[in-house]
Amino acid sequence: MIRVRPLILASAMVSVLVSSPAIAGPPLVCFPFDIGNARTLPMGANGWRSIDPTYDVARLVDDTLALLRPETPVLVRMETLRRATIYAASDSVRATALLNALKERASVPQANVGLNVFDFGYLVETYRQARPIFAAAMPAIDGIDGYQLVLKAHALQGDPAMQFAAAVMTEGNSATRSESRGHLAQAKAHADTDRTLALNISRHFQ
């Protein structure tokens, strides 16, 4: 069971609160993923939204793309995109630039296109859950189904961590709770051979 962190969010967050008593707040944004010592964007040490004041946000798009290499594990991609979203929330120009960069990568047929499709879909849904903390509206994500893109990415890539991503993505909505449980079951089936996946499943779900 994960520990509930105190949150101070806009009242609009209420619409995306997870019904499970173990979680409070949008799961893609408020709850960091455990990635050990893997390289990702820097953050502060005072909670999920604590940024590193020394980080040059002008580098956000380039740094994020550099971190999302073909060999980067899915869980590291998830945490990197969570952090990128928090930085992008205060800068609509860079938020749009990052979205467009990932969209363009996802549209190019190549050996690792599944990972690129995953990154784009996952960012869309993370932006969607983070809307209450964005400085400006992000109409560019309207009409884009990031969840379906993650499912497409899994079909292309076959990585069980993508099932975990889909489970987290759908857990906060009562209409998709059955889908979340189905994805979680499939992720758990591979957790015995993936310690990091098992750790994150245990922290994010009861």
Please indicate, yes or no, if residue 64 is contained in any of the structural domains: yes
**138 — pLDDT class (breaks 50, 70, 90):** very high
Q: Residue 1 falls within a domain, yes or no?
A: no
pLDDT digit string, tens, across residues 148-175: 999 999 999 999 999 999 999 999 888 8
Boundaries of domain holding 48: 11-204
pLDDT at 22 over 50: no
Beta bridge partners of 51: 43
Contact partners, residue 99, CB within 8 Å, separation at least 6: 120, 123, 124, 127, 138, 140, 141
Structural domain includes residue 43: yes
Domain contains 127: yes
Q: How far apart are CA 175 and CA 165, in angstroms?
A: 17
When pLDDT is cut at 50, 70 and 90, the band that residue 24 belongs to is low
pLDDT at residue number 7: 32
> What are the Cα distances from residue 138, in Å, to 10, 46, 92, 117?
17, 27, 8, 20
Whether residue 5 is contained in a domain is answered as no
28-44: per-residue pLDDT in tens?
A: 999 999 999 999 999 99
Nearest CA among 62, 46, 123 for reference residue 89? 123
pTM for the model stands at: 0.87
Once rounded to an integer, what is the mean pLDDT over residues 64-91? 97
pLDDT bin (cut points 50, 70, 90) of residue 139 is very high
**Total tally of structural domains belonging to the chain:** 1
In a domain, 83, yes or no: yes
Looking at residue 166, its pLDDT comes to: 98
Residue for token digits 């922290």?
203
Instruction: Give the pLDDT confidence score for residue 173 in this predicted structure.
Output: 82
